Structure 1
Amino acid sequence: MFEYWSEEFTASQRRVVDPPMPVLVDLSVAIPTFGPFRRDAVSLRIKSGALDLTATVPGLLYAWAQCTDSSWVGLVGFAIPTANKRGRIETRQWTPARALSRQARSP
């Protein structure tokens, strides 16, 4: 994943997470949208079957990379569900750190 990014500094600007770490992904932050102002302007078909980018979903964190503004993005694999929970799209993408949180451990 970092084969075209040479390491030039002593404080690394990238980190591989091995093994991948379970995280929660806030999709509203990871993939912001700017839909219609009024929710009643959207058809029921779209509300029930389209992707739900308001959900928080489980994911796996594979790596971190620092950005020029000093923020960090994580390479995360996760599924984006449809609103009716009958479908999903699997994805792996760079996601802002503010969209990620650690998953609570099961007792």
Structure 2
Amino acid sequence: MFEGLNPIPPPRTRQIRVKPARPVWVDLGAVFRVGRPRRVVPDGLDLQATVPGELHLWSLTTTGHWVGYVTFAIAGEGRHVQVSQWVLSATLQPRSDHRARPS
């Protein structure tokens, strides 16, 4: 993910602030692995969409995986629920359709 832009932490640092926040795509199907559908619930939360988000921080896990702290919205019940959480870097893709927010 982000080939050529892999975050390299300064010595003894496990977190990198992304300033200004960087526009990304969040693959909710990869973030929330739910398995086979049990039934169709039209007004339920859509956890299978790919949604726009903003990347605020990178951090290393104890297993050496990169995670990003991202803000995004989940659609459901005719509204959007704003969420901020850590997600694995593999669930994120850079978004070129939107410029980064000014710092």
TM interval, shorter chain, is: 0.7 to 0.9
Query: Structure 2 regions of 5+ residues with no counterpart?
Result: 1-9, 99-103
| Equivalent residue runs for 1:1-80 within 5 Å | 10=11, 12-34=13-35, 37=36, 39=37, 41-43=38-40, 46=41, 48-80=42-74
CA distance in 2, matches of 1:11, 1:30: 28
Amino acid aligned to 2:56: Y
Task: Show structure 1 runs of 4+ deviating over 3 A.
Answer: none
Report the TM-score, using the length of structure 1 for normalisation: 0.74
Q: Which has the larger radius of gyration?
A: 1
| Aligned residue pairs, count | 89
Aligned residues: CA RMSD? 1.9
1:105 aligns with 2:97: yes
Percent identity, aligned pairs only? Answer: 31
**Paired AA for residue 16 in structure 1:** R
**Larger helix proportion, structure 1 or 2?**
1
